[in-house]
Structure 1
Amino acid sequence: MLPRLTHRQIEAFRAVMETGKVTSAAAVLGTTQPSVSKLIADLERAAGFNMFERQGRQVVPTSEARALYEEVERAFVGMMEISRVIQDIRDFRTGSLLIAGMPALALKLLPDVIAEFIAAEPGITVSLRTRSSQAVLRHLSSQQFDLGFAALDNDHPAVLRRELFTAPMLAVLPLSHELERKTVLLPGDFDQRPFIALGAEIGTRSETDAFLLAGGARPRIVAEAQLSASICELVAAGAGISIVEPVTAMHFANLGKILVRPLSPVQPFRYDLLLPATRQPSRIAKQFLKLVEARFDTLLGVHG
């Protein structure tokens, strides 16, 4: 078995091969000529054959040294490629981000953030999967996703869940609706009016029902839908009024398709950030999250 070779010996060998002189190799390596001579001598002793023959002030590589150099050069090219990849990762020139998001955020907010992010970091590939909040939780529990965005009232041992943003739910009205003159809507304002409800299986539905019941309101449910976006489209078409989470409500209001009004008493809605429990967020994920938080602040204006 060969004695253990050192990286410094191989560096010295490569430098002498490329410069043809021990003194030049020493300058390249930032050391002295005796140090390089000793490294080469140690390498020759370990290898069991001579690497160079002296011809005047030049050193000429032996055939064995030429064969070794081919392998050394391949190894150094590989190391340089590894260095390049490290630099690309450090400077966000390469990498990927796998995101799962609830429909309310995957409709507009997350695509807007992704567009902003990849414009600034074109080497990063971002994949967005639109899923229900419970499905987002399951995806993050697989540890294959980097970030999840949901609205949940339950946890998973393999997932870290924390509050991302909380803002009041909003009443949504068709354009030119008779309630538009009111600046704040009370439960009684919904009494006996056509109402588009969330599906009974959606957690927020029970909170909305409790809000209405507390004020003695009994709206006429004319339709149900699972997604806030579907409800807003129905409202825009004049089918009725409703109460939805604020991101989707503001998106449709900004498009000029519906009117929004705050509620009293306030009905808070929490958006959750989900992270895989077995690893820390990458630098890419942290950078993306900064943009998400800024987008929430811009759209809703009331943080946390």
Structure 2
Amino acid sequence: MLHRLTHRQLEAFRAVIETGKVTAAAEALHTTQPSVSRMISDLESVVGFTLFERRGRQVFPTPEALALHEEVERSFVGLAEISRVIEDIRDFRRGSLLIAGMPALALKFLPDVIAAFIKEEPGITVSLRARSSQAVLRHLSSQQFDLGFCALDTDHPAVKRSPIYTAPMQAVLPVGHVLGHKSQLEPADFHEQPFVALGAEIATRSETDLFFAAGRARPRLVAEAQLSASICELVANGAGIAIVEPVTAANYAAAGRVISRPLHPEQPFRYDLLLPALREPSRMTTRFLELVEAHFARLLGR
């Protein structure tokens, strides 16, 4: 007969225990007194023992009812916790984001976005891994990361890749440099200038070499580095001039560490968004991406 046990009967039972009156229980459940009495009677039929003793308008639980109430209460507390978790997830008060990003974005750009995101959604835990673009692709292919940011021309069947922002590469100069008066720099401006280059293994390096070759310019190579931030540090300390991706150039220029100038002709640089292909983005991921796009627009003005 226990298959006839219903959640509504247990709700009525719990309400009568807590209020001590059938009428008060009916009010708490937004139903009628006869309805509650019927549910209690049905529950007594299901369990096979008396739950309440009636003394006038008062009802008193039997010892069997009190024992049952302990178990029912545990179940309802569990349901209440589940309800709170559902509300937390729905309202972004609980959850986590795992992000992998190329160093050009992971050193400052993404931390700035993450700081804004957790102010807006303080219940969310965000983890950031700074990795090379190829490593970001590998991380996303594992399906364990929620989103990744890189600059790549390769794909993976387990990853969805799409451009998230494109902006031109920038020349960076030490503050007070003689070329700082120019609104844009051409290949000839780099001829015989001390130059800090990206490492030869970085794809953008070949594009910069073609930029110089087209203008028959030969900068004087004084240093190489793998990261745009390292190059900007060298430039800020007077080692030479350089060409780097736009986000790092904009951050260093905004801090007054270097002068940033566009190139002519332009060298476009594309930042890619990676998402795991085997699952859909969560609502948190979508909201985070909205902040990323807004920050790109504020920083680079496009």
CA displacement at 1:209 relative to structure 2: 1.5
What CA distance in whole angstroms lies between the structure 1 residues aligned with 2:113 and 2:70?
48
Flag structure 1 segments of 5+ consecutive residues without an equivalent. none
Quote the residue 2:301 is aligned against. Answer: 301
What CA distance in whole angstroms lies between the structure 1 residues aligned with 2:142 and 2:45?
53
After TM superposition, the structure 1 = structure 2 runs for residues 1-304 of structure 1, keeping only pairs within 5 Å, are 2-302=2-302
What CA distance in whole angstroms lies between the structure 2 residues aligned with 1:133 and 1:152?
7
Identity, % of aligned positions: 73
What value does the CA root-mean-square deviation take over the aligned residues? 1.6
Structure 1 length-normalised TM: 0.94
What CA distance in whole angstroms lies between the structure 2 residues aligned with 1:4 and 1:238?
83
What CA distance in whole angstroms lies between the structure 1 residues aligned with 2:19 and 2:257?
73
Q: Secondary structure at the match of 2:293?
A: helix
Structure 1 moving runs of 4+ over 3 Å? none
Q: Secondary structure at the match of 2:3?
A: coil
What CA distance in whole angstroms lies between the structure 2 residues aligned with 1:71 and 1:36?
20
CA displacement at 1:167 relative to structure 2: 0.6
AA partner of residue 141 (structure 1) = S
What CA distance in whole angstroms lies between the structure 2 residues aligned with 1:170 and 1:256?
15
What CA distance in whole angstroms lies between the structure 1 residues aligned with 2:258 and 2:299?
16
Flag structure 2 segments of 5+ consecutive residues without an equivalent. none
Aligned length: 302
What CA distance in whole angstroms lies between the structure 2 residues aligned with 1:25 and 1:119?
42
CA displacement at 1:41 relative to structure 2: 2.0
What CA distance in whole angstroms lies between the structure 2 residues aligned with 1:165 and 1:294?
11
Which range is displaced more, 54-63 or 244-253?
54-63
What CA distance in whole angstroms lies between the structure 2 residues aligned with 1:203 and 1:194?
21
What CA distance in whole angstroms lies between the structure 2 residues aligned with 1:228 and 1:3?
68
Q: Secondary structure at the match of 1:92?
A: coil
CA displacement at 1:157 relative to structure 2: 1.4
CA displacement at 1:233 relative to structure 2: 1.2
CA displacement at 1:74 relative to structure 2: 0.9
AA partner of residue 163 (structure 1) = P
What CA distance in whole angstroms lies between the structure 2 residues aligned with 1:28 and 1:252?
62
CA displacement at 1:31 relative to structure 2: 1.4
What CA distance in whole angstroms lies between the structure 2 residues aligned with 1:118 and 1:277?
26
AA partner of residue 119 (structure 2) = A
CA displacement at 1:282 relative to structure 2: 2.0
What CA distance in whole angstroms lies between the structure 1 residues aligned with 2:20 and 2:253?
74
Q: Secondary structure at the match of 1:3?
A: helix
Q: Secondary structure at the match of 2:125?
A: strand
CA displacement at 1:182 relative to structure 2: 2.2
What CA distance in whole angstroms lies between the structure 2 residues aligned with 1:253 and 1:60?
77
1:34-86 CA-partner distances (Å, limit 9, x unpaired)? 22222222222221222122222222222111100001011111111121222
CA displacement at 1:10 relative to structure 2: 0.8
AA partner of residue 28 (structure 2) = V
CA displacement at 1:120 relative to structure 2: 2.6
CA displacement at 1:12 relative to structure 2: 1.0
AA partner of residue 118 (structure 1) = I
Q: Secondary structure at the match of 1:17?
A: helix
What CA distance in whole angstroms lies between the structure 1 residues aligned with 2:181 and 2:22?
89
AA partner of residue 157 (structure 1) = P
What CA distance in whole angstroms lies between the structure 1 residues aligned with 2:23 and 2:170?
77
AA partner of residue 128 (structure 1) = L
